[in-house]
Amino acid sequence: METYITKLKHILPTFFIIAISTIVGLLLFRWLFVIQFDIIDLKEEVWCLWLPMGLPWIPLLIWLRPRFRILTFKKDNDNGRFFFQFLSAGTIIACLLVSQNYLTTATGRLQKLSTIRDIEKVEKSRYYELTNFSVANYYGGTYTDFRQSGKYNQYLNFDIFFVTPILKDTSERIDNIPKYWYGVNFKEQISNKISNEEKEKKYQAFYDECIEKMNKYEFHSLDHFERKPTSDDRQNYLKAIEARTKQTANDGFIVLEPIKEKYEDRNGNKFAWIFGSFGIGLAVLLFALIWPGFSETEKKRFLTGKKPKQDDLVDMLNYLVPKFDHFATSIILDLNLLVFLFMVFSGIHIISPNGMELLQWGANRRFETTGGEWWRLLTSMFLHGGIMHLFLNISGLVIAAIFVEPLLGRKNYFILYILSGLCGSLASIWWYPNTISVGASGAIFGLYGAILGLLLTNAFPEGGKKGILMMIGIYVGINLLWGLTGGIDNAAHIGGLLSGALIGIILYKLDGGQKNGI
């Protein structure tokens, strides 16, 4: 019992400080700078999903993670400690998700309007009650958002957004581009592994079904309207308006979405669940702390400020600093991470950006690239279709770089990476007529191709070639086979692999072919 209390005293105070400061701090910051004074205009998904999921990890990894070193486990590894880090983060994340959603609905006041034009006369709000209105359903527009989802992009999602102007009454006629729009959204998910012809058929069937629903839609069957804030949904509604009006939609357009549940029920049990989610997570954490052992030595080392000899997190962060045998790799990693962060904070979906978003950032597709925008062959190498895509490519890059950069040197390594990536991009637009391609995988497969090619030379010790061939061969084979299931640009993989093998051998021979550092 004494040992258990010691563990609690060492861990819980820091956990409480991090949890309270993170939850309260984010709530106050958003309320002050977004809701109260409207200074910061980020997508609502950032506040209600991405910041709650990512922000807690920073203080937890810096201040709480070192305290978990006092815990000991039967198997001497970091998996047990990571479980407690994950449990702590999960508790704070759950509380943040609920609290941010509660803040969204609780601060949204209901404004009552006599006509739709009164929306300009009252204070801007999130919710509006409007009973006297008409819709010009003959003037409607539509836009479909296509996104892949799932661990391996095994799903394809259709989000169809319909808009139609809101008028004061049936006597009003549309002379100019309407400013107020009624928005309705329908969703459908299908397998991403089926053929393109089957996808087209399923989409057309779903679209026809939605058209039928809109023809019978009861526009006055609602309790109140919700004004769409800056969000992915609002952007898609604006694209539907653009499709109808042939004019660029801007922030001056107001999109109202019907809400059928009563305004008084908008918060549900969210407030209670702020404390409930935290309480459940805390209870699980307290219970779990019973099982691991306790290291007095680690506690004394922590209190004296001595750092452990090996720290995986510090080693990982150090790998991002260009130096030693990973100089070029670190620069490439940093570029990929920075581009992805810029994309996310510009509003690109962090998990599954759609094709049009990626094209705007420089993705590779035959029509645009062969139409004069050849720079897409290069820019597409530093773009990624979501955080999972980025993570997988970073993992593959680091594994390959351990072999290649020390062997070729940083200059030749850069040349190999860029040239094989360009060859992968060329292979993609040669093989696929209308596929949008992004990612560093062509260049990364070029590194693996170089490893396989250099096995034919004296670059690697004879005794280690078999092991390298098995490890790299299995990795490449699995990825190529997985690419055959669909949703993956296998042409870029093969193009990068073959060109990388050839370029790697040429660079090695030009450099003298004398290195044997592995």
pLDDT confidence bin for 253, thresholds 50/70/90? very high
pLDDT for 179 equals 93
Nearest to 494 by CA among 425, 419, 435, 439: 425
pLDDT confidence bin for 354, thresholds 50/70/90? confident
pLDDT for 456 equals 84
Q: Do 427 and 495 form a contact (C-beta atoms < 8 A)?
A: yes
Angle at the Cα of 180 from the Cα atoms of 178 and 183, rounded to 5 degrees? 115
For residue 33, give the DSSP letter.
I
Please provide the distance, in angstroms rounded to a whole number, between the alpha carbons at the two ends of the chain: 51
Residue type, 334: D
385 contacts: CB under 8 Å, gap ≥ 6: 148, 153, 352, 353, 358, 438, 439
pLDDT for 423 equals 93
Q: What is the mean pLDDT of the chain?
A: 89
Within 409-489, where are the H helices? 410-431, 441-454, 465-483
Q: Do 228 and 181 form a contact (C-beta atoms < 8 A)?
A: no
pLDDT confidence bin for 478, thresholds 50/70/90? confident
Angle at the Cα of 456 from the Cα atoms of 452 and 459, rounded to 5 degrees? 85
Residue 213 main-chain phi, psi, to 5 deg: -65, -40
**What global pTM score does this model have?**
0.80
Least confident of 8-22, 248-262, 416-430, 478-492: 478-492
Q: Give the C-alpha separation, 146 to 398, whole Å.
A: 32
CATH number of 319-510: 1.20.1540.10
Does residue 515 surpass a pLDDT of 60? no
313 contacts: CB under 8 Å, gap ≥ 6: 61, 65
Q: Which residue has the higher pLDDT, 307 or 114?
A: 114
pLDDT confidence bin for 46, thresholds 50/70/90? confident
Q: Which residues pair with 185 in a beta bridge?
A: 161
pLDDT for 455 equals 87
pLDDT for 286 equals 94
pLDDT for 376 equals 92
pLDDT for 86 equals 94
Both tokens of 235, joined, read 């952007």
Least confident of 88-102, 181-195, 419-433, 499-513: 499-513
Could you give the residue numbers annotated as active site? 441, 493
Domain positions in the chain are 2-108+268-305, 134-219+224-259, 319-510
Query: What is the pLDDT averaged over residues 254-271?
Result: 95
Share of the chain above pLDDT 70, in %: 95
Length of the chain in terms of residues written: 518
Q: 110-113 and 127-130 as β-strands: parallel, antiparallel, unpaired?
A: parallel
- Helix 387-408 with 441-454: angle, nearest 10 deg: 30
Helix, strand, coil proportions of the chain in percent (round to 5)? Answer: 60, 10, 30
Q: Do 298 and 284 form a contact (C-beta atoms < 8 A)?
A: no
Q: Give the C-alpha separation, 420 to 90, whole Å.
A: 40
Does residue 392 surpass a pLDDT of 90? no
Enclosing H/E stretch for 97: helix 79-106
pLDDT for 347 equals 76
Q: Give the C-alpha separation, 168 to 114, whole Å.
A: 9
Least confident of 114-118, 303-307, 509-513: 509-513
Residue type, 155: Y
pLDDT confidence bin for 303, thresholds 50/70/90? confident
DSSP secondary structure of 334-376: HHHHHHHHHHHHTT--SS---HHHHHHHT-B-HHHHHTT-TTH
pLDDT for 260 equals 94
For residue 246, give the DSSP letter.
S
pLDDT for 98 equals 96
pLDDT for 514 equals 54
Query: What is the pLDDT averaged over residues 461-489?
Result: 76
Share of the chain above pLDDT 90, in %: 52
Q: Do 461 and 516 form a contact (C-beta atoms < 8 A)?
A: yes
Both tokens of 47, joined, read 């506040």
Query: What is the pLDDT averaged over residues 493-510?
Result: 90
pLDDT confidence bin for 516, thresholds 50/70/90? very low
pLDDT for 518 equals 42
DSSP secondary structure of 35-69: IIS------HHIIIIIHHHHTTHHHIIIIIGGGGG
Nearest to 459 by CA among 404, 399, 416, 397: 404
Query: What is the pLDDT averaged over residues 467-475?
Result: 81
Both tokens of 373, joined, read 């925008």
Query: What is the pLDDT averaged over residues 132-155?
Result: 86
pLDDT for 302 equals 85
204 contacts: CB under 8 Å, gap ≥ 6: none
pLDDT for 417 equals 93
Q: Write b or e for each residue in 245-255: b if 16 or more Cβ atoms lie within 10 A of its Cβ, otherwise e.
A: beeebeeebbb
